[in-house]
Amino acid sequence: MSYEHFHELGKQASVATIAAWAAARARLPFEDERDFEEAHRGFLAAPAYRQIMAEAGNVAWDLGAYDFLLSGEDFESIHPSLRRQAVLNMEYGLYEVVPDRIYQVRGFDLANVSFVRSDSGWIVFDPLTAKETAAAALALVNEHLGVRPVVAVVYSPSHGDHFGGVHGVVDEADVRSGKVPVIAPVGFLEHAVAENVYAGNAMNRRMFYQYGSLLDRSPFGHVDQAIGKAVAAGSSGLIAPTIDIVEDIEELTIDGVRMVFQNTPGTEAPAEMNTWFPDLKAFWAAENITGTIHNIYTLRGALVRDALEWSRQINRALYLFGRDAEVMFASHSWPRWGNDRIQEVMRVQRDTYAHLNNGVMHLANQGVTINEIHRVYRVPDSLQRQWAARSYHGSVEHNSRAVINRYLGYWDGNPATLIPLAPRESAPLFVEMMGGADAIASRAGTLLADGDHLLAIEILNKLVHAEPDHVTGRLLLADAFEQVGYQQESPSVRNSFLAAALELRSGIPTGATPKSTGPDLVRALSTLQFLDFLGIRLDPALAGDAAFLINLITPDNGETFVVELSNGTLTSLQGFLADDADLTITITRSDLERAMTGAAPLHQQVAGGTAVLDGDPTVLQALAGMLVQFEPGFAIMPDTAPHPPTQATDPFAHSALGDSSGG
């Protein structure tokens, strides 16, 4: 399919963008094609289909939408390094990692799913985001390698693309009965749930920017996601682990397979672990070592990660396992074979994360601020010419700012930025002083023609915040965002600029997006986490001066909670009961879960006798009237149409928790 075919989807690259493309082509080591050899090595079979449907009827996965990348064209709207990574992520099908023992299915979701042949079945590592893609991967394995039961599942990090498809590979009844163990790092369940709930709705909205989930699949839109092609839009679930890996180094033998787990908390995920297979000389690097430098700060929103600790854990793995390994494989990207190659990649990534931490703080200690560091910090030339050191999933710009944020916070030390006005408050003054909207639009047009896209963005952003309905300003800002997006090596940054351009031109898009939350994740909330989330949902303005005390008792597990509303704030305390409570609710944890998921609302359970109220039942009605249901369609770009939250009807039924995948 020709480049011209896509012109209606986006604008041509500017002269400045084409120049940036040429400069990147000249300075990067395109002659090193070892990644292509490794990515294809071990290929066994691909299915006849390139599209997987979701149970809900939408398309869950469509690798064929990216076939334009295989045309051989060097698209001017795609950074050449990103195009290279995007082609590498087009590998699709079943691959052999260790002969007759370890296999991977790649190209079925954002992550890879790995299958380790045990004495009697398969041990599955990281079963993807969606049930449908995971089931298709297992079917492909069984078709070509013989039907074998799944005897264990391993979750490596606590992100949705590593556990969401678990129902596609194992029956939950087999896990509950103890027949099939589910193994995870200590803290997995707490972090998997909390990250998706407390800020879940906001993460879901921002994920459209980072992951570009509703952008066109084209040279002018979504082309890749760095650690994989995209996120599957299927049915996501969660089966709670039955075995926690608690020690720093812990060994287990499952169905004849000896595994040594290395806990690596505080790296790519707050709960994560590598795995060493000593009898196979194979090292599983989870998501700690992939084909890219990852996010220290992920644009969808998450806790800032620790680049120095990440480097330390890679170094520890190098000295524990890397000097003996003959193959290194991971939950994203492709394996590396041969000890020299493995050590090379491990050292490159170790040094890149360490330099990011140390180099940024070296500059920070000389006064470079969070608002300057991304224009000053540089990766050493020796690393820049290593493909394993390229920042596809992360970017040098937002990762360098994240390091300062981790140590020093968001403030740059200048009091002028300590109590800043909101953009909509300050923008009108800037627009007035710059001579008005038409003057800004005229100047921005000149800047765009000259290739000064960032300067154009600087003034156009003021214009659209001051006058959100100024059509010319919105379209010019979209043009500037688009060109900056084209120039990005990181798809997360590219997608963010292109998504903003789309919204400025067309409004907030709709369509099927990846799902990593649902009833399983809601049930996995601890009762205290659930009550804490009610506190987040409470609108202080609706609460006013109201005050009450509620006791919550779940007799089947012996838990008790005091829930108190005061000062427009809902707080919860476990292990106590209030003698003067206005209302006491007694309900089993299993019935509470039915209320939380909306399967059996609380008022129905009260009527049916599975929930017992003692005290003033109007307290519950009052609480419901203070809670809001979060909606994922709030504006990020200035929008002329307000999107007010809707009010809850049942205090215990969860609102949209949001969806966030890995990264």
Task: Work out the number of other CB atoms within 10 angstroms of the CB of residue 202.
Answer: 16
pLDDT, position 517: 60
pLDDT, position 659: 42
pLDDT band at 114 (very low <50, low <70, confident <90, very high): very high
Distance (Å, whole) CA 336 – CA 343: 10
8, pLDDT greater than 60: no
Mean pLDDT of the chain, nearest integer = 92
Mean pLDDT of 479-507: 95
More confident position, 481 or 630: 481
- Residue 379 has, within 13 A of its CA and on its CB side, a CA count of 23
Distance (Å, whole) CA 87 – CA 183: 33
What is the SS3 assignment for 515-539? CCCCHHHHHHCCHHHHHHHHHHHEC
Task: Work out the number of other CB atoms within 10 angstroms of the CB of residue 244.
Answer: 15
Distance (Å, whole) CA 218 – CA 214: 12
- Residue 622 has, within 13 A of its CA and on its CB side, a CA count of 19
pLDDT, position 651: 74
For 584, phi then psi, to 5°, come to -120, 125
Q: pTM to 2 decimals?
A: 0.91
pLDDT, position 83: 97
pLDDT digit string, tens, across residues 312-365: 999 999 999 999 999 999 999 999 999 999 999 999 999 999 999 999 999 999
166, pLDDT greater than 70: yes
Chain length of the chain: 663
Mean pLDDT of 540-549: 95
pLDDT band at 367 (very low <50, low <70, confident <90, very high): very high
Contact 327, 283 (CB under 8 A): yes
More confident position, 311 or 599: 311
Q: Assign 3-state DSSP to the chain and report helix, strand, coil percentages, each to 5.
A: 40, 15, 40
- Tokens 């039907």 identify what position? 147
pLDDT band at 203 (very low <50, low <70, confident <90, very high): confident
Return the CA Rg of the chain.
26
pLDDT, position 273: 98
Mean pLDDT of 406-411: 95
580, pLDDT greater than 60: yes
pLDDT, position 1: 43
Contact 153, 127 (CB under 8 A): yes
Beta strand 182-185 with 243-245 is parallel
pLDDT, position 453: 96
Mean pLDDT of 566-583: 95
pLDDT band at 643 (very low <50, low <70, confident <90, very high): low
Domains present along the chain, CATH in parentheses:
3-28+39-405 (3.60.15.30), 417-506 (1.25.40.880), 525-647 (3.30.1050.10)
pLDDT band at 469 (very low <50, low <70, confident <90, very high): very high
pLDDT, position 7: 43
Helix (H) or strand (E) holding 82, with range, is helix 80-88
pLDDT digit string, tens, across residues 265-312: 999 999 999 999 999 999 999 999 999 999 999 999 888 999 999 999
Distance (Å, whole) CA 125 – CA 116: 8
Instruction: Report the first-to-last Cα separation within the chain, whole angstroms.
Output: 31
**DSSP letter, residue 8:** G
**DSSP letter, residue 74:** -
Distances, alpha carbon 469 to alpha carbons 281, 385, 455, in Å: 61, 45, 21
Distance (Å, whole) CA 175 – CA 344: 39
More confident position, 137 or 650: 137
The pLDDT > 70 percentage for the chain reads 94
